[in-house]
Structure 1
Amino acid sequence: MGLEHVLNARSVAVIGASKVPTKRGYQTIRTLLDEHYEGSIYPVNPKEKSILGLTCYPSVSQIPGEVDVALVATPARTVPSILEDCGKKGVKGAVILATGFGETGARGKALENDVLDVAGQHHIRLIGPNTSGMINLKDNLNLVGLKDSPKGDIALLTQSGNMALTLITEAKLKSRKGFTYYVGVGNEADIRFHEYLEFFSQDPDTKAILMYVEGMREGRKFLQQAYRTTEKKPIVLLKSGRSATGKKSAGSHTGALAGMSRVAKGAFERAGIVVIENSDELFPAAEALSSLPPIKNNSIAILADGGGHATIAADTLTDLGVHIPELQEKTKAKLRAILPDGAAVRNPIDVAGGTDDNPRIFAECANLVLNDVNVGGLLIVGLFGGYGIRFAESLALMEEDAAHQMGKMITSKKKAIVVHSLYNSEKPHSLDLLRYYGVPVYGSLDVACKSIGVLAQYGRYLKSYHAVSSFVFDWGAKAKPEASKIFDRVYADGRTALLEAEAKKLLGLHGAKVTRDRIVTTAEAAAQAAAEMGGKVALKIASPDILHKSDANGVMLNLSGKERVRKAFRQIVKNAKAYKPDATIEGVLVSPMVEKGAEVIIGTKIDDQFGPVIMYGLGGVLVEILKDVSFRVLPITRRSAQMMIKDTKSYPILDGVRGDKPYDKKALVNLLLTCSDIIEAYPQIQEMDLNPVIVHHQGLSIVDARILLKPFDDAGKADADA
């Protein structure tokens, strides 16, 4: 069942209805009546005959009319029996306010499971539990009791009632924008984030989706739906739980694990979501994206009446990845004709007092700048809106005229305008006129820059949309028959870890460049193998019980000469037995030493929220110290592989330093794509670690490889999970 009957309910039962004004069971009925909800309202309380003039029923099943949704405002322990009664009535959805479920521990989780079982048996969709409720502002269906929420075109999804209150209040006090829906997602026990996203993506009145997220239960499905949604509508998201303390707080509140912030942020951005890290920028970003066209060429002009603000804005936008373009010569010539000699017309544009006695000049300049093909959007910073306050009241009418003209440019030019005003808090009529036309106005220069910056970010994403992964796996399509024999042998031995030789064989089956290794069981065989390989070799212990070979002193490098190799073999075996006496030792791996190059690491793991992810970064022993790594959710595209390499601070090393030749980045990209293919081919794989990979000026070498499988009973479950 979809969410239509829940979010657009035509009848509501308020279970736990009350005559006490401080109770939710009273506040909800009062708000529904005051805001003229046109559907049917059924208070439910066996102790009351009527509440606020409405007939009160002892149970849901005794209500005479149909019930689309039930607001359950009773303690947690009562919810299973209440849902049983709702099931008898054929109720389609329930909003469960109570806390005391999965967010509180094992007992609460057991109660939450009982609730889900009952709801599933009766096909009741659930919002919550542990939710502040939901509001459909289009139909005045207010199950929160929050009065006078502003109506508009933004859908709001949060896991915090206080965050919802903050955003709704901000919209009411500082903007002309508002909301189509608000949903407090709560524990996400039944209806998941991706289902809400699908509903809002199809709602004709919703132009943008605003989200506050602590954790989500089905992250990959969310990414898949977000990818489909952002092609049509922008999504703005703030995710908490980035710090260790924040993760603990988020977990206790929602009962959902907050995942690795670096993984989450990268995944969200790849899905086209605008990720916000400062809460005071969250609503302004949604306001801009719901009001203005995306900036298609990543280029913004700055129009200012003072050099200081112009310079700060240019620096801030540059830090956000936005281009500040040079204006066309004809544009600069026209600007010079209407501005004083001291004006700067390069971009940023400083009117240098040219608007002091005629603020209409702002509109003339804006018109010229937006006609320039190099410009995708315009940021106005400084005094606009305050000329009638600062200089003369007569200038206020001129500002209002300029506001009308600039507001109409949004439609005529199809380009964005955002305004920063020092006089925003004074609330002059000219600034309210700009908001009427959909031009956002802010008192904070940083917030104004962020608001227009997200329009450029979203425009960049739309431009590259079809080069981005849809986050969908084609499980097993690229599997090799020979690989199944490797996995069968590993499982038959009771292992979940591939030996290095087995891991490299699997990589080789998919075309990866691996070293020519050989496992030997005697010192003499080691010496013979080294001689046949020629040059220097490395010896490494081969044991399924010793995954970190260096920890066991199970690696020796740069060996040459038969006697030295024999001695190294015996020493490595001795070290391994001393490190783990009960370890099964398959032998010693003999590998040719590879030429020097740039050491990098490539690894994969299963993320709690998003499933398989891949990591790239500076390799060798430094990876644990420097943590110069980037993540992507699998599968990846070639563009994603290129970008994750560029995202690391060590990226310039690959271009060569101090006269060194550049390293083979194309080979590195191909290896990342090969790893993506391998994970997509074999859902048995839990984790893969290639460290180090030596990148040469031409080609690369996988020096060490480790692959862990899921336990045998879990093998193959990944295709169902994704």
Structure 2
Amino acid sequence: MLDKILNARSVAIIGASKNPTKRGYQAIKTLLEDGYEGKIFPVNPREDSVLGIPCYDSITSIDQEVDLALITTPAKTIPALLKECGEKKVAGAVIVAGGFRELGTEGKALEALVVETAKESGVRIIGPNTSGMINMKSNMNLVGIKNAPRGGIALICQSGNMALTLITEAMIRKHEGFTYYIGVGNEADIKFHEYLEFLRNDPETKSILMYVEGMSQGRKFLQQAYETTKKKPIVLLKSGRSATGKRSAGSHTGSLAGMSEVANAAYGRAGITVIENSDELFPVAQTLSSQPSIKNNQVAILADGGGHATIGADLLSDYGIGLPELSETTRAKLRAILPAAASVVNPVDVAGGTDSNPAIFADCANIILKDPNVGGLLIVGLFGGYGIRFAESLAIPEEDAAHRIGKMVKQKNKPIVVHSLYSSYNSHPIELLRYYNIPVHDSLDITCKCIASLCQYGDYLKSYHAKTNFVFNWGFRAKKAGNDIIEKAKSQGRKVLLEHEAKQLLKLHGASTSADKVALSEDQAVEMANQMNGAVVLKIVSPDILHKSDAGGVKINLKTEGQIRIAYNEIMLNAKNYNPDADIIGILVTPMANSGLEVIVGTKIDDQFGPVIMYGLGGIMVEIMKDVTFWVLPISPTSARKMIGETRSSVILDGIRGQKGYDKKALKRILLLCSELIESYPEIQEMDLNPVILHHEGLDIVDARIILK
């Protein structure tokens, strides 16, 4: 269906106009000027013709097949027009008008009516509130941007102004152009993941560039992204990263899972290159579109000055990119063509060796790229400007070097990215590099970001088969006793499992949990504690008191009968003072856990991506340090291992200063168990295991909290 829309062979302009300021005039004018290969049908009952093309009273009066309608009329007219499109069997409609959900309650209702009408009529919608779409291959320009360059990048954008910025940048800087531009708008009907699936199968699209403000079906998008990034790269800028999303008072996991953290983690797992700065967006997309990925995370630097070489090395190091030692064969060949003062280690500094003959740059590049340790080459400095900086006579050998460097990417199947102080001069050597699709930038920061993206994508391609495809296979099943625990809570009107219930559910699925008991009196508490042979902990049990420590509802390391009785009564008094209306079920008696490293494991349902899992430093430090990582569920054993290694505190697990390390295998099992629980019990909204005390062997789940939907 999307093929007939995005590759439409005929377009009706509903709201065609003779007024040059109107969209219904501008669209027809652009289609004619750009040489649209299909048929154009203006629709306006008050006009006989527009720009020499006969007008129709309505879309239903057109006596030929219509693939796509561009609707330029006000929002309130849309439902009736969509019905007419349905009668005409139009595949899709681009709805330009705003005035929908972005305006509040009335707008939401109108948008819902539009979507319902479109569904009933069999018409798919781009938008509403969209700047339009462009098919560069057939010159179907329904936006009106003039002189948009054609190339191998597809642009999916939720902002017309952002799209204009990116297309203008491509024109001015002579970057690679586009196959499609799709203005998603409100994403009321056709979703991001549907566009992604279409573009994945388009042979002319080499990379996909995205600007996203929010998406309604994030998990389906991740599933399509996972399939897409195996074939072609996706570069994405997500706005709104300062927003923390909806905070949940119910659990640590809910309050820590901000929009940016979850989204960035999810996109990264799907192989998407996430960009933080808007000025890096197009350069990175162009680089990934035109260059082979770097397969070993090892980059060589070729420079004609120490300053740029040093800064470049620092920037690459910040990205975690290695600068490999060049082989003795490589160094010997470089020494043979460079002056004695040149540095032939990595970075390679020609030390004036190219001042009289810039073609030596190409000789050096060729030697370096033959080194088996080198995965890609970064050229920094003055290249492209020797004929400007020194002498015009140097322009010819510099052009020769540009030709040779440009051909090396295909010859060696290794990427080259160039930083040049003369990038904006558009000298002929620079133009030649760009002719060969070599990225050239005047910002060293952006150039190094481009190199980093090639390393990141190359690393992903090596291991995507071991990553989750974001699909639950529902291989795990709930246990009857587990369902009984959840049904009991629901029958009592509770949305929270009590701590001992949560631990029982975990134990049913293989977790090693303590033998907790609920005391209804201080005598019972003493009796239960005596059966545990050691120090105990008392905790308040109430569905109305989730954060027990805040309520003074926890007493630890109790060893004598007197301590237990005093603690029991103090907890009861504290709980009543904290919440006089709380339903207090009793006091939990549990063995005192041995000391160890406190970590947190939790899950929540994210609005965009569905179930996600969190792991990090736990206990009272979780809210202070926020050393946590989020992954979209389900996770694999490989994912669990990588989650653990992603946190800053992961070094502690291996043991520091001669201390014995902690049991990472037990920790990995708990992460996988949580993934199993979420798959087995769809009723779970959030889960907090905090703290989990990790030992040198094994672990203790000290506190467990499960919130139901």
TM-score normalised by the chain length of structure 2: 0.97
Map residues 100-119 of structure 1 onto 2, 5 A cutoff: 100-119=99-118
Query: Which whole-Å CA distance do the structure 2 matches of 1:176 and 1:498 have between them?
Result: 57
CA shift, 1:410, in A, is: 1.0
Q: C-alpha offsets along residues 572-601 of structure 1, whole Å, 9 cap, x if unaligned?
A: 223323333333322211111111111111
Does 2:170 correspond to 1:202?
A: no
Query: Which stretch of structure 1 is more off in the superposition, 31-40 or 124-133?
Result: 31-40
Percent of pairs with identical residues: 65
Q: How many Å apart are 1:245 and its aligned residue? A: 9.9
Asked if 1:264 corresponds to 2:260, the answer is no
1: CA distance, partners of 2:382 / 2:195: 41
Contact 2:83 2:117 in 1 (8 A): yes
Match of 2:558 in 1: 559
CA distance in 2, matches of 1:173, 1:360: 28
Describe the superposition over 1:393-448 as per-residue Cα deviations: whole angstroms up to 9, x where unpaired. Answer: 11111011111111111111111011111111111111111111111111111111
Moved more, 686-695 or 527-536: 527-536
Segment of structure 1 superposing worse, 372-381 or 425-434: 425-434
| CA drift at 1:658 | 4.1
Give the distance between the partners of 2:72 and 2:364, measured in 1 at CA. Answer: 57
1:675-709 per-residue CA deviation (whole Å, 9 max, x = no partner) reads: 11111111110000111111111111100000011
Q: What residue number does 1:280 align with?
A: 279
Relative to 1, partners in 2 of residues 1:100 and 1:259: Cα closer, same or farther, differing over 3 Å?
farther
* Contact map agreement 1:154 1:206 (CA 8 A) in 2: yes
CA shift at 1:23, angstroms? 1.3
Aligned to 1:694: 693
Residue 707 in 1 paired to residue 698 in 2? no
Match of 2:490 in 1: 491
The offset of 1:656, in angstroms, is: 2.9
* Superposition map of 1:603-642 within 5 A: 603-642=602-641
Residue 402 of structure 1: SS of its match in structure 2?
Answer: helix
Indicate the SS of the match to 1:46: coil
- Give the structure 1 partner of residue 213 of structure 2: 214
Q: State whether residues 475 and 683 of structure 1, in contact with CA within 8 Å, keep that contact through their aligned partners in structure 2.
A: no
- For the residue of structure 2 that corresponds to 1:489, the secondary structure is helix
What is the CA distance between 1:661 and its match in structure 2? 2.2
Deviation at 1:175, TM superposition (A): 2.5
2:167 aligns with 168
Q: Which AA in structure 2 matches 1:357?
A: S
How far has the Cα of 1:71 moved from its partner? 0.4
Written as runs of structure 1 = structure 2, the 5 A alignment for 1:518-533 is 518-533=517-532
Q: Provide the residue aligned with 2:2 in structure 1.
A: 3
Aligned equivalents of 2:394 and 2:580: distance in 1? 89
Equivalence for 2:249: none
In structure 2, C-alpha distance between the alignment counterparts of 1:219 and 1:302, rounded to whole Å: 39
Structure 1, residues 65-86: CA drift from partner, whole Å, max 9, x if none? 1111100111111111111111
Q: Which moved more, 1:473-482 or 1:397-406?
A: 473-482
CA distance 1:33–1:452, shift in 2 (3 Å): same
Q: Distance in 2 between matches of 1:469 and 1:147?
A: 42
Letter in 2 for 1:682: Y
Return the offset for 1:145: 1.2
Higher mean C-alpha deviation, range 133-142 or range 487-496: 487-496
SS at the partner of 1:552?
coil
Which position in structure 1 is the counterpart of 2:386? 387
SS at 1:221 equivalent: helix
Aligned-pair distance for 1:306?
0.3
Amino acid in structure 2 at the alignment position of 1:17: A
What CA distance in whole angstroms lies between the structure 1 residues aligned with 2:433 and 2:582? 74
SS of the residue corresponding to residue 284 of structure 2 reads helix
CA distance in 2: counterparts of 1:44 and 1:266, whole angstroms? 47
Secondary structure of the corresponding residue to residue 606 of structure 1:
strand
Q: Which residue of 2 aligns with 1:437?
A: 436
- Please state how far the C-alpha of 1:480 moved relative to its aligned partner: 2.2
SS of structure 2 residue aligned to 1:163: helix
Report the counterpart of residue 255 of structure 1 in structure 2: none
Q: Distance in 2 between matches of 1:446 and 1:514?
A: 51
1:259–1:609 CA contact under 8 A, matched in 2: no
Is contact 2:243-2:259 (8 Å) kept?
no
Superposition deviation, residue 176 in structure 1: 4.2
Question: Could you say if the C-alpha distance between residues 333 and 192 of structure 1 is closer, same or farther in structure 2, counting changes exceeding 3 Å?
Answer: same
Helix, strand or coil at the partner of 2:706: strand
Cα distance in 2 for partners of 1:502, 1:476 equals 24
Give the 5 Å matches for 1:275-674.
275-475=274-474, 477-674=476-673
CA distance in 1 between partners of 2:244 and 2:264 (Å): 18
The Cα of 1:246 is off from its aligned counterpart by 11
- Matches of 2:423 and 2:269, distance apart in 1: 35
Higher deviation after alignment, 547-556 or 107-116: 547-556
Counterpart contact for 1:215–1:259, Cα < 8 Å? no
Aligned 8 A contact 1:300 1:323 in 2: yes
Equivalent-residue separation in structure 2 for 1:245 and 1:652 (angstroms): 28
**Equivalent-residue separation in structure 2 for 1:637 and 1:298 (angstroms):** 24
Contact 1:519–1:590 (CA<8 Å) still a contact in 2?
Answer: yes
- Please list the CA deviations of residues 262-313 of structure 1 after superposition, one character each: whole Å capped at 9, or x if unmatched: 1100110110000011111100101111101111111110000001100111
Whole-Å separation in 2 of the counterparts to 1:388 and 1:647? 48
The CA deviation at 1:243 is 1.2
Please name the residue that 1:151 is paired with. Answer: 150
The correspondence of residues 38-187 of structure 1 with structure 2, limited to 5 A, is: 38-187=37-186
Residue 254 of structure 1 aligns with which residue? none
Which residue matches 2:243? 244
Amino acid at match of 1:600: V
> Quick one: which amino acid aligns to residue 173 of structure 2?
K
Checking the alignment, whether the CA contact within 8 Å between 1:259 and 1:608 is kept in structure 2 is no
Structure 2 counterpart of 1:66, one-letter code: E
Distance across 2 between alignment mates of 1:177 and 1:552: 61
Gapped regions of structure 2 (runs ≥ 5)? 247-256
* Number of aligned positions between the proteins: 699
Aligned AA (1:522): S
My pick for the range that moved more, 188-197 or 618-627, is 618-627
- How far did 1:259 drift? 6.8
Distance 1:419 1:653 in 2: 40
Name the counterpart of 1:226.
Answer: 225
Cα drift, residue 459 of structure 1: 0.1
CA contact (8 A) 1:475 1:682 kept: no
> Who is 1:719 aligned against?
none
- Corresponding residue SS for 2:497: coil
RMSD: 1.5
Residues in 2 aligned to 1:120 and 1:431: alpha-carbon distance in whole angstroms: 51
Please report how far the alpha carbon of residue 238 of structure 1 lies from its aligned counterpart in structure 2 after TM superposition: 0.4
Deviations 1:599-650 (A, max 9, x none): 1111111111101111112211121222221111111122322222222222
Give yes or no for contact 1:301–1:325 (8 Å, CA) kept in 2: yes
Structure 1: distance between partners of 2:545 and 2:244: 34
Tell me the amino acid that sits aligned with residue 468 of structure 1.
Answer: K
How far, CA to CA, are the matches of 1:323 and 1:55 in structure 2? 64
Measured against aligned partners, the alpha-carbon deviations of 1:488-539 in whole angstroms (never above 9, x if no partner) come to: 2111222121111110011111112222211122212211211111111000
SS at match of 1:599: strand
SS in 2 for 1:677: helix
Q: What SS does structure 2 have at the residue aligned with 1:464?
A: helix
Corresponding residue of 1:251: none
| Preserved CA contact (<8 Å) 1:476 1:682 | no
Which position in structure 2 is the counterpart of 1:718?
none
Give the Å deviation of 1:666: 2.1
Q: Distance in 2 between matches of 1:437 and 1:581?
A: 75
